[in-house]
Amino acid sequence: MNLNYKIKNEKIVIFGHKGLIGSALLKEFKLRGYKQILTVSKKKLDLLNLKKVNNFFKKNKPKLVVLAAARVGGIYANNTYPFNFLYENMIIQNNLITCAIKYSCKRFIFLGSSCIYPKFWKKPFKENDLNLSNLEKTNESYAIAKISGLKLCENYNRQFNNQLPNFITIIPPNLFGPNDNYDDKNSHVLAALMKKFFFAKQKNLKKVEIWGSGNPKREFLYSEDAAKIISDLVELPLKKIHKYTKGNFSHINIGPGVDYKIRTLVKIIKKISNYNGKIFYNKKYPDGVKRKLLDVSLLKKISPESFDKNLTKKKNFEQKIKMIYEKLETKTFKKNKKNYSLNLSI
């Protein structure tokens, strides 16, 4: 991409650099020749502790901040631990956004989620389709937290920055790729399915149980493809983004713009894994939202070169799943026990 925004030599920090999208962004920034990339593990910096976060910003004074760290999980985790998903995400966002403002950060990239959009919607979600009264109950707390972060960024631009989108939110669909979470109760659908079929094949199981009916449709984006799009948006001049958002909002949908039934996903992974057993759809488990498809027409206007038409092709999607599946091994699924005790760091 032809860089208009000269940020390669600025100091950059990625929070959540070991996760799915954070690690992809770290790789992409390095490939693009970014000179000063900072990372910090959650063991060394508790993002829930404002004093520690403030000290980090005071010492390092980054000019670009990427917030890819969050309390995340699938339907089970969201539904079982709603307090953690609301409280922890809001505190992390508030701490990082306020410190970024305090220490004169030039750009702030907040990773949102497609769950911010309404539960019932016939058309693909556009950026102005936010509706707080109609959120999916199973991940309502996570959605409210993400909307809160989105609105903090949006209102900072509106109140203090002449509406220029220095602080923007990126809304991706379901992401998958290296460093995904394969926890039985906390993973997202694609990672969960790959793990199920991996062990079903390895243990020669007669059937694989799929939670829900398999009828909901989901949109997917490979994490390294998402990182390329996000990096392109980071490098765009603010005025080009403002030309299309006009200060009315500061979030941008990214994705291929196509979705697939969970049943289709199951067939793809079953074929890739060479599993020959039966499939059982357990309808006792909730489906969640029936469909979550993002309208990416704004992305195509703002940064047309960022939209790769190959992303819309099913064959490309299948190849990316196969690439990840073939790298799986037993140690990939090492237990990473989540702590859901009450954390009130101050």
Report the C-alpha gap between 278 and 274 in whole angstroms. Answer: 12
Report the C-alpha gap between 184 and 128 in whole angstroms. Answer: 34
CA distances to 182, 272, 277, 320 from 326, in Å: 15, 9, 19, 10
Confirm whether 182 is a catalytic residue.
no
Q: Which is it for strands 36-39 and 64-67: parallel, antiparallel or unpaired?
A: unpaired
For residues 55 and 216, the answer to whether their CB atoms sit within 8 Å is no
318-323, Cβ contacts within 8 angstroms, sequence gap of 24 or more: 318/268, 318/272, 320/176, 320/177, 320/222, 321/176, 321/190, 321/194, 321/268, 321/269, 321/272, 322/272
Q: Backbone dihedral region of 179: left (phi > 0), alpha (psi from -120 to 50 degrees) or beta?
A: left
Q: Backbone dihedral region of 187: left (phi > 0), alpha (psi from -120 to 50 degrees) or beta?
A: beta
For residues 132 and 143, the answer to whether their CB atoms sit within 8 Å is no
State the Rg of the chain over Cα: 20
Report the C-alpha gap between 33 and 112 in whole angstroms. Answer: 26
Catalytic residue among 76, 81, 142, 156: 142
For residues 305 and 238, the answer to whether their CB atoms sit within 8 Å is no
Report the C-alpha gap between 27 and 31 in whole angstroms. Answer: 6
What number of CA atoms fall less than 13 Å from residue 59's CA on the CB side? 8
The residues assigned a catalytic role are 142
